[in-house]
Amino acid sequence: MSFRRAGGPSGTVCYYPEQWDESFWAEDLRRMKEAGLDGIRIAEFAWNRFEPEEGVFTFAFFDRFLEYVEAADMKVVFCTPTATPPAWMTHRYPEVLNADIRGDLFRHGARRHYNYNSPVYREFCSRIVEQLGKHYGQHPRVVGWQIDNELNCETGDFYSESDHAAFREFLKEKYGTLDRLNFAWGTDFWNQTYSDWDQVYGPRPTVNGTSNPHQKLDYIRFISASALSFCRMQSEILRKYKKPGDYITTNGIFGHMDNAKMVEESLDTYMYDSYPGFAFALDADPVNAEDLNDRKWSRNLTETRSVCPHFGIMEQQSGSIGWNDRMEAPAPKPGQMMLWAMQSIAHGADYVSFFRWRTSRIGTEIYWHGILDYDSRDNRRLEELRQIARRTERIRDIAGAEYQASFALLKSCDNQWDAERDVDSWHSRIQSFSENEIFCGAQLSHTPMDVVWIGSGRREPPDPERYPLLILPHAAIVAESDKSLLEEYVKRGGILCMGCRTGYKNEYGHCVTQPMPGLLRGLAGGTVEDFTSVRPEENVSVAWRGKRFRMPVFNDMLEAEDADVLAVFEGSYYDGKPAILEHSFGKGKVLWIGGVFTRELTRAVLEYAGVIHPFADWIDVPEDCEIAVRKKGERRYLFVLNYMPYPRRITLHIPAFDPEGNTVSGEQLLSPYEAKIYIL
């Protein structure tokens, strides 16, 4: 489908001309076109085809391929090939390689074996990108550029010599003096004080595998900064050569990266690679509807939308998945390719490209199936692709329509990184529990959610009109700038809901000495008197809004200062202690819960804030179907997605059109895995 900002192809597929004999090309392109595609993504792993020897550049191979593309009237998203440096380079300049924490280099044979900070690699990369930009920037068939492939995929950790050296520079820039670094890293603990910059490294093997948490947090910030500057370097080069209107993107989304900042700095749009089939991985937990399975990919799509409201999908799953060394998940059932493509579009994708045209016959990915199998014959997946292309063509005006969320989950990079298991396992446990449950609670109650980022220089408070409720589950780290932003939001009428363990750390990750929630005490209208983790067999609960809710994992026993006590703990030695406080502040309120968020409690919070199921007047829909609405002008697109292997019934209370233009209303039946779209 068309991608508004990018003006790009209206449906693409990933293709690897370097892996197929020239005799395949014309027929492949013809069949793609016939299936309703008009573009392909190429070249992301093809460095050798452009620079077969150091400093020797040739474009003959891809020039020739582009002649076929021209003849087939197709378009191209061209990639920079920096995810797989060539063997001549890694052999001659091993410093370009990434290393494990012991410093052992990752050798040739897989991909993403490079590091972002080797000056030699940077030089090679800027040269190849420069060459490609110069040669293909004005090519009429090129409509967009993908930088690298999946930054931080395979690993988000880098321990080469260049990384340690660059980390040192990053810290010098950040702290200026060793005294300040020693303070920030709390090096008085266990005698870690540094007296010379040469003693400072990123994390290295330690006797018990643990590392200084403040150092680790800075190290992740550094990895993010390194990936972002690598991307920026390429983007700045491509901008000099590309045609106006051609877009620059990259695909993801992976950890240890401030993705929102990367989009702001370097990209015109962002692309997510969506493989919901991972939910059915053969070694995953037994399939169980409560877990939401492939519906959980809506959470990743929500995160993608949070960093780029009008994003695309660069790789949409189209076959069963696995590598030579692992059997991953079964083939999409009939209907699931369509369902998953519609899931992406429902969440804001304005462009969908499938991975890949034909299953590879060589290499690690011989089981990562594309649309065609090894024999290239027509099959049911190609037929489903044709149907997807026809359908997206009918709703192409949706490009640019806004996803309609009724509340937002508030996140910050600092807290996301602090909540990694090897930085802070306490934070990790509550954060991962609550984020999953908040998503499930929102999904199952048909309450569409956005993710909003604070921190890293974002100073504007979210608008309470747009998000009447913000849930900030467990912001351990709260900076002064977060405090003023949150206060401003509540003052203007928003409802801020916070969970346990809020505000007990500063930006270095040091625990603060004020009572929790530290800087947010005035906003919360109270403090934490005592706290404890909760074992699974303990049965602590609260009664609130006429229902009883479990309070598992972690409890903060709250103490009201000027807040009202809405509920108290029951079932432990802290029976009767406040568990939920409400504090009016300016025109808004703070709801403070001394625990984690279960899906049931999330539902109650959504009801309390009056944001639950905003489309209840339009539609009755069972819990196990997702609904999503995108709006453009007065037109609304209502998606109903049935993830179940059995049919589901829904009732439309208002007249609507289907994409074919028929009027529909009343009771409707969704087949197994069916995705319906209604236009209102």
Q: How far apart are CA 10 and CA 113, in angstroms?
A: 33
Question: x-or-dash pattern for ligand GAL, window 230-269, by CB under 6 A?
Answer: ----------------------------------------
Distance of closest approach, residue 294 Cβ to ligand GAL, in angstroms: 17
- Per rule CB under 6 A, is residue 149 in the interface with ligand GAL? yes
Distance of closest approach, residue 335 Cβ to ligand GAL, in angstroms: 22
Indicate the residue among 326 and 547 with the shorter CB distance to ligand GAL.
Answer: 326
Residue selected from 28, 38, 148, 273 as contacting ligand GAL according to rule CB under 6 A: 273
Interface positions, 279-318, toward ligand GAL (CB under 6 A): 315
How many residues make contact with ligand GAL (CB under 6 A)?
8
Is the separation of the CB atoms in 355 and 317 below 8 Å? yes
Distance of closest approach, residue 668 Cβ to ligand GAL, in angstroms: 35
- Per rule CB under 6 A, is residue 150 in the interface with ligand GAL? yes
Indicate the residue among 297 and 618 with the shorter CB distance to ligand GAL.
Answer: 297
**Strand runs (DSSP E) across 107-170, as ranges?**
142-146
Interface positions, 578-637, toward ligand GAL (CB under 6 A): none
Read off the amino acid at residue 449: M
Is the separation of the CB atoms in 66 and 141 below 8 Å? yes
Identify the H or E element spanning 182. helix 178-184
Indicate the residue among 150 and 268 with the shorter CB distance to ligand GAL.
Answer: 150
Distance of closest approach, residue 484 Cβ to ligand GAL, in angstroms: 40
User: 169: how many CB neighbours lie within 10 A of its CB?
Assistant: 12
Distance of closest approach, residue 88 Cβ to ligand GAL, in angstroms: 22
Distance of closest approach, residue 538 Cβ to ligand GAL, in angstroms: 41
Interface positions, 354-373, toward ligand GAL (CB under 6 A): 355, 365, 368
Q: How far apart are CA 573 and CA 88, in angstroms?
A: 67
DSSP state of 333: P
Distance of closest approach, residue 347 Cβ to ligand GAL, in angstroms: 19
| DSSP code per residue over 39-79 | EEEE-TT-HHHH-SBTTB---HHHHHHHHHHHHTT-EEEEE
b/e 572-598 (16+ beta carbons within 10 angstroms → b): bebeebbbbbbbebeebbbbbbbbbbb
Is the separation of the CB atoms in 75 and 58 below 8 Å? no
- Per rule CB under 6 A, is residue 331 in the interface with ligand GAL? no
Phi, psi of 305 (to 5 degrees): -60, -30
Distance of closest approach, residue 320 Cβ to ligand GAL, in angstroms: 12
Question: What contacts 6, CB < 8 A, 6 or more positions away?
Answer: 143, 144, 246, 247, 249, 268, 269, 312, 351
State the residue number with the nearest CB to ligand GAL. 368
Question: What contacts 678, CB < 8 A, 6 or more positions away?
Answer: 637, 638, 640, 652, 656, 657, 658, 664
Question: x-or-dash pattern for ligand GAL, window 49-88, by CB under 6 A?
Answer: ----------------------------------------
- Per rule CB under 6 A, is residue 153 in the interface with ligand GAL? yes
Indicate the residue among 106 and 355 with the shorter CB distance to ligand GAL.
Answer: 355
Question: What contacts 484, CB < 8 A, 6 or more positions away?
Answer: none
Distance of closest approach, residue 153 Cβ to ligand GAL, in angstroms: 5
- Per rule CB under 6 A, is residue 467 in the interface with ligand GAL? no
- Contact region with ligand GAL (CB under 6 A), list: 147-155, 214-222, 262-270, 583-591: 147-155
**Could you give the C-alpha distances from 645 to 142, 341, 659, in angstroms and in order?**
41, 17, 24
- Contact region with ligand GAL (CB under 6 A), list: 146-154, 342-350, 477-485, 650-658: 146-154
- Binding residues for ligand GAL, per CB under 6 A? 149-150, 153, 273, 315, 355, 365, 368
